Amino acid sequence: MAFSRDPLDELVVPDGTEAKEVDLVTDGDVLVGGRSTIEFGIRGRNVLLGENVEVDGAIEAEGDCRLDMWCDIDDDVLVGQDAYLGERVHINGELKVAGDLDIGDDVDIEEGFEANGWIVIRNPMPTIVFLFVYLKHLLLIGEDDAAQQLISEMVDEDEEAETEPLVIPGNATVNDDAWRVSTPARIGSDCRLHGNVRAETIDVGADCNIFGSLRARGDVYVGNGTRIHGDLTTRDGDVVLEKDARVLGDVSCDTLDIAPRAEVDGTIRADGEITMGTTERDLE
C-alpha cells in the first residue's frame, strides 16, 4: 500500500467492510489514531492502536496486535501471532497470544493472559507514534521509497496482500450512531455501515449500504448502486450521485450532478446548478 501523506489524515474504510452488530470486520489491517473512541469490537489482520484509544468490545487479530500506552479494551484480546502492549494498558477480559508477548509496566488484564511464545516485561516503544513520526520525516525529506518500505514492513508484511487497511484518524468517534472525524472520509465498495458519517469530505464507493446520513463541509461523492438511508448535506460542497445511487432522504448542497437512474427520495436544495446526465467519473 502506498501513502503520499500522513496515512492518519483520512478515514479509510476498505472494500467489503461491515459493521456487524458489535464488531467492525475487515480482511486487512486496522490502524487507529490516538485518543479515538471505537464503540465496536475490531476484527482484522494486524491491529494497531495509538495512545489512549478506547475499544468497547473485543479485539481479534489474525496477525500481530499492538496497543500503545493507556489503551482501554472492554473485552478479550485474541492475537494470532505476536502482541505488544504499552504501559498502563487495561484489558477488561482475557489476553490470548499465539506467539510472543512484549508487555509494559502497570498493564492490567482482568481475566489473566497466556502466550505460547516468549514473554518479555518492559516498556515497548509506542508503535503508532514512532511509525508515523518517522514516516512524516521520510516524506518531508523526499524519501518516498523508504517510506513505502517502512509501511510494508510494519503494517503490510504480506507483500501479496491487496486489502487496504481500515484507518481511523486520531480523535475520532465510531459507533452505531455516528462515524465522526475531522478529516476526509473515503469508504470503499460493497461496505455495509451503520451510523451517520461526519467528515470534511466524503467519498463512497459502489454498491454500499450506509444506514445513516452523510454530512460534510466539502464535496460528497456517492458511487454506483449505493444507498444512503438518510439525508445528504454539505455546507460548501458539491454532490455527485452516480448511476443507480439512491438517497432515501433530502439532499442539500451547492451544485448537484445526478447520473442516469440515480434517485433522491426527499427534497433537493441546491444553491447552484442541478445537472442530470453522465458524471465526470463515469467518463474517466
Local confidence band at 153 (pLDDT 50, 70, 90 cut-offs): low
pLDDT value at residue 232:
98
Whether residue 156 is found in the same domain as residue 232: no
Pairwise pLDDT comparison (144 vs 55), residue with the higher score = 55
Whether residue 46 is found in the same domain as residue 131: yes
In a domain, 117, yes or no: yes
In a domain, 15, yes or no: no
pLDDT value at residue 14:
94
pLDDT at residue 152 tops 80: no
Local confidence band at 154 (pLDDT 50, 70, 90 cut-offs): low
Residues 6+ apart with CB under 8 A from 187: 13, 17, 193, 197, 202, 203, 204, 205, 208, 210
pLDDT value at residue 121:
80
User: Can you tell me whether residue 281 is helix, strand or coil?
Assistant: helix
Count other C-beta atoms under 10 Å from residue 229's C-beta: 14
Average pLDDT on 107-135 reads 74
Q: Give the span between the Cα atoms of 82 and 181, in whole angstroms.
A: 30
Do strands 173-174 and 178-180 pair parallel, antiparallel, or not at all (unpaired)? antiparallel
DSSP string, 34-52: TT-EE-SEEEESSEEE-TT
Whether residue 145 is found in the same domain as residue 247: no
Whether residue 155 is found in the same domain as residue 216: no
Instruction: Report the share of the chain in percent with pLDDT over 70.
Output: 81
User: Can you tell me whether residue 272 is helix, strand or coil?
Assistant: coil
pLDDT digits (tens, 9 = 90+) for 1-47: 444 445 678 999 999 999 877 899 999 999 998 899 999 999 999 99
Looking at the whole model, is its pTM more than 0.95?
Answer: no
pLDDT digits (tens, 9 = 90+) for 85-100: 989 999 999 999 999 9
pLDDT value at residue 141:
65
Whether residue 129 is found in the same domain as residue 215: no
In a domain, 162, yes or no: yes
Q: Which of 177, 165, 240, 250 is nearest to 211 (CA)?
A: 177
Q: Give the span between the Cα atoms of 219 and 204, in whole angstroms.
A: 11
Contact 124, 106 (CB under 8 A): no
Range with lowest mean pLDDT among 38-42, 96-100, 160-164, 256-260 = 160-164
Contact 219, 239 (CB under 8 A): yes
C-alpha cell at 107: 498493564
Helix H or strand E segment including 60: strand 59-61
DSSP tally for the chain: helices H, then strands E: 3, 38
pLDDT value at residue 278:
65
Q: What letter represents residue 109's amino acid? A: I
Q: What is the mean pLDDT of the chain?
A: 87
What b/e sequence results for 167-194 when a residue is b if at least 16 CB atoms lie within 10 Å of its CB, and e otherwise? bbbbebbbebebbbbebbbbbbbbbebb
Instruction: Report the share of the chain in percent with pLDDT over 90.
Output: 69
Range with lowest mean pLDDT among 148-162, 198-212, 220-234 = 148-162
Structural domain including 246 reads: 184-283
Count of structural domains, the chain:
2
Average pLDDT on 212-240 reads 97
